[in-house]
Chain A
C-alpha cells in the first residue's frame, strides 16, 4: 500500500516537473513561461517530497519533509515574481492580447 502510494507520488511529481520543462520551451514569452515553471515545479517538488516521506515513514524523518515543502512553497513564487518583474521592467519581447488577434509574431512595446 505504501509502496503504491510512493510510486504514485513520485510519478506525479516527475510528470509535473516534465510539464514545467516542456512549458519553458513551448510557451511564447518570459511571463508565460514563468506561469508553467512556478506552478508545475512547485507541485512537482511537493509530491516528490511527499513520496519520499511515505517511503521513509513518518517516524524516521518527522517534520523535516514538511519543512522542506514549506521552504519550497515560500521560495519558488518569489523567484518567479522576481523574474517576471524584471521582464516587465526591462524591454523584453512579449506577447499581448491585442497583437495575437491580428498577427502572431512577437514584438516588444
Chain B
C-alpha cells in the first residue's frame, strides 16, 4: 500500500515536470515509477510490491475476459432459452479464513462473472450464499469460483 502511494506520487511529480500534462503522460510517469520501485525494492521496505502489481494486472486481464463472456452467456440465456430450461438455485460457498476486504472483492467478482450473483454473507463471515442461473452442478460452480476468482485474488492480497 505504501509503495502504491509512492508510485502515485512519482507519477504526479512526473506530470508536473512535463511540458504538456495529459493522461498519457500520467501513465508514463506511473510506469516509470513502477520500474523505479521494482528496481530498488530491496532498499524500500515495500515488501513484494512488484509481484503484487503483476498479480493484479493478470487478474484484471483475466477478469475482463470473464466479464465479456458472462455478458454473452447472459444475452444467450435471455434471448434464446425458454423459461423451463433454467434451473436456478442457491448454492453456498465456503469463505472461512478470508479477510473482510477479500470477501468484498470476491462477492463483486462473483456478481460480474457468468451465471452467478452474490446474495448474502452469513453473520460470521464464513459462508457466502450465491444464486446460480444453472445450478445443476453446484460442485463445478464452486470449483470454478475457486480457480478463477479466489486464488488469483489471494495471490495479490497476501
Contacts and interface: CB of A to CB of B under 8 A. Distances in A.
Given A28-B83, A104-B84, A39 B112 contact: yes
Most buried by B among A19, A73, A89: A19
A35 B70 CA distance: 10
Nearest to A38: B111
Nearest to B111: A77
Contacts of B84: 100, 104
Interface residues of A, number: 37
B133 interface: yes
A58 B23 contact: yes
B117 A43 contact: no
B75 A40 contact: yes
Contacts of A34: 117, 131
Contact of B117 (A19, A29, A35, A58): A35
A62 B90 CA distance: 42
Given A77-B111, A96-B88, A88 B120 contact: yes
B88 A97 contact: yes
B120 A32 contact: no
Contacts of B119: 31, 81, 84-85, 88
B157 to A, nearest CB: 18
B108 to A, nearest CB: 5
A88 B107 CA distance: 16
Contacts of B78: 19, 22-23, 26-27, 36, 40
21 contacts: A16-B75, A19-B71, A19-B75, A19-B78, A27-B77, A32-B86, A32-B88, A35-B133, A38-B112, A39-B111, A39-B112, A40-B75, A42-B112, A43-B68, A88-B90, A88-B120, A96-B89, A97-B87, A97-B136, A104-B83, A104-B84
Given A38-B112, A43-B71, 19 more contacts: A16-B71, A16-B75, A19-B78, A19-B79, A31-B88, A32-B86, A38-B117, A39-B74, A40-B75, A43-B68, A77-B112, A81-B111, A81-B117, A84-B131, A85-B119, A94-B88, A96-B90, A104-B83, A104-B84
